[in-house]
Amino acid sequence: MTLFEELKWRGLIDNVTSPDLEEKLNQGGMTFYIGTDPTADSMHIGHFSSLLTAKRLADHGHHPLMLVGGATGFIGDPKASGERNMLTKETLEHNFHALHEQIERVFGFEMVNNLDWTKDITVIDFLRDYGKYFNVNYMINKETVKRRLESGISYTEFSYMILQSLDFLHLYEEKNCTLQIGGQDQWGNITSGLELIRKKHGNDVECYGLTMPLITKADGTKFGKSESGTVWLDAKKTSPYEMYQFLVNSEDAKVIEYLKRFTFLDKEEIDRLEECVAQEPHLREAQKALAREVVTFLHGSAAYETALKITNALFKGNIRDLNADEQRDALNSMEKRSLQEPMDLASMLVTTKIASSKREAREWIKSGSIQINGERVKEETLMIDPSHVLVDDMILVKRGKRNYYVVSLTRETE
């Protein structure tokens, strides 16, 4: 397959600004950029596919520029739900340096910051040299603005399109950057940048835009949220074990799509895994491959092996075989229930709402369905107290084969 054919097969092309881009991509040698604003101090799993697309282009001989928007971060890209909260200069600076380190370490891309070329632009310069090229009717018909017209949009966020267009213009002029890539929600901003370049340098300029489809779950909702929140690429915010669990629980209906977008596995291997999903979905071989590839790429093989060790220990009920850090990692990823004081097992199950009634709790205990820290318990009068704390203030409760809970004993015995 050519590069363009592979991108299409992997489902990574939503739209392109010109059919000529196909040949350009296949030839290699383009300088392109992908951008993100420092709204957090880590990228998340939703960014990962876009970054991998940039790496696929880099591996084919193109030169990537990673723009972290030190300037556009002050403004905020309009979102459908309403105005963004303005971040402080200190927060943006912290986030910028964190993202710079993360992206450079994981991907090795050349980094650029749009604050470098916008911080000295005066209001008059902005209006005369750039704003003059933007028709208001054109701007309000862009999807990112149109979806906010009824609820209202500030001039600050309305002007974001101009700032991002200025980025493409600057990188074209200073680094011969002729391609911008981004998610499909960036189509309006990308095409606006192309228009600005053409108005400044003529219609025969060879510059392009490419957007990638947003990644969703089977129900159409946004991909990248676990029960505990956003799945981050930073191991301190989402541990390799938590990421492994998130990915290994991917839906059968979506896992092949995720394998195409999130891994470098070839077509032959992904076709084999697709057959496994169809014939033996209970083995979850495709999900395990997805989790292995992503965790290893981001955090290394040792982190993947630790994630696998924790997973296997929990499955076999051998939580005590893990060291304290591994136990903490496992328990922090689970749903937590608070227990204010020691009490008998049956009462604890009801108080923490693991069981709906004392009768249900007693039935579970009697049938051997309840485990405490990996050990089956059949005594409903067993006192759950600080002696049962596994690590920190946490006690692991398992019901049946798949239901795990962490009970946090927040107050010790008088």
C-alpha dihedral over 192, 41, 222, 288, to 10 degrees?
A: 130
With beta carbons less than 8 A apart as the criterion, state whether 42 and 21 touch. Answer: no
For residues 338 and 304, what is the distance between their CA atoms, to the nearest angstrom?
A: 31
Q: Is 160 marked as a binding-site residue? A: yes
Q: Is 33 marked as a binding-site residue? A: yes
What phi-psi label fits residue 374: left (phi over 0), alpha (psi between -120 and 50 degrees) or beta?
Answer: left
Q: Which residues are annotated as a binding site for ATP?
A: 225
Instruction: State the binding site for L-tyrosine.
Output: 33, 160, 164
Binding residues: 33, 160, 164, 225
